[in-house]
Copies of this chain bind each other. A is one copy, B any other.
Amino acid sequence: MTHFSELDTPAVLIDLDRAEANLKKAQDAADRAGIALRPHIKTHKLPFFAKRQVELGAVGVTVQKLGEAEVMADAGLTDLLLTFNIIGAAKRSRLKALHNRVTIRTVADSAECVAGLAETFTDPAHPLGVFVECDTGMGRCGVQSPNAALDLAQQIIAAPGLAFAGLMTYPAAGKYQAAAQWLADARTVFSTARIDLPAITTGGTPDIWHMDEAARVATEYRPGTYIYMDRSQVAAGAAGFDDCALTVLATVVSRPTPDRAIIDAGSKALTSDLLGLTGHGHVVEYPEAKVVGLSEEHGTLDLSACTSKPAIGDVIRIIPNHCCPVTNLFDQVHLIRDQALVETMDVAARGKVN
């Protein structure tokens, strides 16, 4: 039996029991709310957990990149939603290859994107499902109004090789009610135009425990981070530190002053993501410690508030601000249970940049 503290650092640890509890809690909440769950694999990037999510009741998974979709299809996942505007012939060709072997649908928020898809997908007998992406307050991609969604849906409907799949949004964190109102308005617009809305898919871990409210207008929920949770989700009230399944194991490599410790986990292990927070993570063993600085390979801890302090050679665990990009930095993660190593697993969908 290998205790996690024996692993070389820095390393990513995944607590299997916590991850499983998070998966079940969300699936139960979705079941109770009567909304389909389609988890985003960007957080774990592992077919192992994608399959487990489907076993527990998810209708399929969400991916953000064609490369992620290819990994999941190769691993036997059969129902994928690619929530990213696919632009350019090279990417459309890869999407077509996927469409020929699994159920995959995508999104569009512009006439240009739909026109490209319509050029590549031309078979009315096997149309590509396309959602209209809606900007319900996030300020990222998406059509700006329900009427614009209707216009784009009509363009999709007019393309013989495309099938209008419904509306997709990624709502701004904490603004699920505004997003729901936007989608309710869209329902009215589509209803007036007598255009069926096969599905409305929304998401986001920060508001995951309001899935029952999302279910009043949406039919599907796409959370990602919920499997591992992280410091930003704790700050958002979606989890406690005891729910966090992913930690970065680090070694104290220097204690240059009484109040400073340097660990071997910097921005190349924890990322520089702040997500509105101060500091770069929560130290499990020394919760009063502050991760005040990161350079690429060094993390700087302020121990001034700590009653006990770590020594050189001690290993500590950090709950990062944002777990999703952390798994993109490591070729492997270590699955643990009761502090013991169960398996070291390749992060199959890491680094799938396109």
User: Are A268's CB and B298's CB within 8 A?
Assistant: no
A325 near B296 with CB under 8 A, answer: yes
Cβ distance A233 to chain B, nearest Cβ, rounded Å: 15
Decide: A113 and B297 in contact? CB cutoff 8 A.
Answer: no
Within the complex, the shortest CB–CB distance from A200 to chain B, in Å, comes to: 19
Nearest CB on B from A16, distance (A): 21
Tell me how many chains of this kind the complex includes: 2
Q: Which of A253-269 contact B (CB under 8 A)?
A: 253-257, 260, 262, 264, 267-269
- B64 and A141: CB pair below 8 A? no
Given contacts A267-B273, A325-B296, contact A262 B140 (CB under 8 A): yes
The residue from B10, B253, B269, B313 contacting A141, defined by CB atoms under 8 A apart:
B253
Minimal beta-carbon separation of A66 from chain B (angstroms)? 9
A235-267 residues at the B interface, CB under 8 angstroms: 251-257, 260, 262, 264, 267
Considering the chains assembled together, what is the distance between the CA atoms of A324 and B293 in angstroms? 17
- Interface-side segment among A84-92, A95-103, A119-127, A157-165: A84-92
A139 pairs with B300, CB closer than 8 A = yes
Interface residues of A in 275-309 (CB under 8 A from B): 293, 295-298, 300
| With known contacts A10-B353, A272-B274, A297-B65, A110–B312 Cβ distance under 8 A | yes
Task: Determine whether the beta carbon of A254 is less than 8 Å from that of B10.
Answer: no
Q: In the bound complex, how far is the Cα of B7 from the Cα of A91, in angstroms?
A: 11
A255→B110 contact, CB < 8 A: yes
> A256 contacts which of B87, B141, B256 (Cβ < 8 Å)?
B141
A269 touches B353 (CB 8 A): yes
Q: Tell me whether B313 and A256 are in contact (CB under 8 A).
A: no
CA distance A91 to B11 in the complex (A): 14
CB closest residue in chain B, given A298 = B140
User: Which of chain B's residues has its CB closest to A68's CB?
Assistant: B297
Within 8 A of B (CB), among A329-354: 329-331, 351, 353-354
Chain B residues in 8 Å Cβ range of A311: 112
Q: Does A135 contact B (CB under 8 A)?
A: yes
Asked if A78 is an interface residue, CB under 8 A from chain B, the answer is: no
| 5 A–B pairs (Cβ distance < 8 Å), ordered by A | A10-B354, A11-B354, A140-B254, A267-B271, A272-B274
9 nearest A-B residue pairs (beta carbon): A272-B272, A112-B312, A141-B254, A85-B253, A272-B273, A87-B253, A64-B297, A8-B354, A141-B262
